[in-house]
Chains A and B, each alone.
Chain A
Amino acid sequence: MSSASTDFAIPDAAAPAFHLAPRETEPGRWAVRVEGRLSFDAGRALWQALLAVVPTPPPTALTFDLSGVEAVDGGSMALLVQTRWSLQATGVECAFAGATGTTARLLSLYGGDVSPAAEVAVAAPGFLAGVGARTLERLDEVRLLLDFVGRMVRALGGVLRHPGTANVRAIAPLLARTGADALPIVVLVTFLIGFVMGFQSAVQLEQFGADIYVADLVGLSITRELGPLMTAIIVSGRSGAAFAAELGTMSVSEEIDALRTLGIGPLRFLVFPRVLALVVALPLLTLFGDLMGLFGGLVVGVVNLDLSITAYLTQSLRALDVWDVFQGLIKAVVFGLSIGLIACAQGLATTGGAEGVGRRTTTAVVTSLFALILIDAAFTVTFHMAGL
Chain B
Amino acid sequence: MSAPLVTVTELSLGWGETVLLEDASFEIERGEIFAVLGASGCGKSTLLRALTGLDPPRHGRVEIAGTGAPTLSVGRPSYGVMFQAGALFGSMTVGENVALALETWTDLPAAAIAAIVRARLRLVGLEGCAHLAPSALSGGMRKRAAIARALALEPPLIFLDEPSSGLDPVSAFELDLLIRTLSEGLGLTVVLVTHELPSIFAIVQRCVFLDRASRSILARGDPRVLRDTCPLPAVHHFFNRTSPGSSP
Contacts and interface: CB of A to CB of B under 8 A. Distances in A.
Interface of A: 158, 162, 164-165, 250, 253-255, 257-265, 268
Contacts of B52: 261
B145 to A, nearest CB: 11
A354 B154 CA distance: 35
Contact of A263 (B54, B87, B105): B105
B85 A263 contact: no
B109 interface: no
A260 B81 CA distance: 10
B101 A264 contact: yes
B100 interface: yes
Contacts of B77: 261-263
Contact of A260 (B72, B76, B90): B72
A260 B87 contact: no
Contacts of A253: 85, 87, 90
Given A263-B75, A263-B76, A264-B101, A255 B54 contact: no
B89 interface: yes
Given A258-B146, A262-B77, 20 more contacts: A250-B90, A253-B87, A253-B90, A255-B87, A255-B90, A257-B54, A257-B81, A257-B83, A258-B89, A260-B54, A261-B54, A261-B77, A261-B79, A262-B100, A262-B149, A263-B72, A263-B101, A263-B105, A264-B74, A264-B100
Contacts of A268: 74
Nearest to B91: A246
Contacts, number: 61
Interface of B: 52, 54, 72-77, 79-81, 83-85, 87-90, 100-101, 104-105, 146, 149-150, 152
A162 B87 CA distance: 26
A262 B89 CA distance: 12
A141 B75 CA distance: 30
A226 B79 CA distance: 52
Contact of B84 (A165, A254, A260, A264): A254
Most buried by B among A158, A165, A264, A265: A264
29 contacts: A162-B74, A164-B104, A253-B85, A253-B90, A254-B83, A257-B81, A257-B87, A258-B81, A258-B83, A258-B88, A258-B146, A258-B149, A259-B89, A260-B54, A260-B72, A261-B81, A261-B150, A262-B100, A262-B101, A262-B104, A262-B149, A263-B72, A263-B74, A263-B75, A263-B77, A263-B101, A264-B74, A264-B101, A268-B74
Contacts of A264: 74, 100-101, 104
Contacts of A259: 89
Contacts of B72: 260-261, 263
Given A261-B72, A262-B77, A254 B87 contact: yes
A165 B77 CA distance: 14
Contacts of A165: 74, 104
Contacts of A162: 74
A161 to B, nearest CB: 10
Contacts of B84: 254
What 9 pairs between A and B have smallest CB-CB spacing? A254-B87, A261-B81, A258-B87, A263-B77, A260-B72, A265-B74, A254-B83, A262-B101, A255-B87
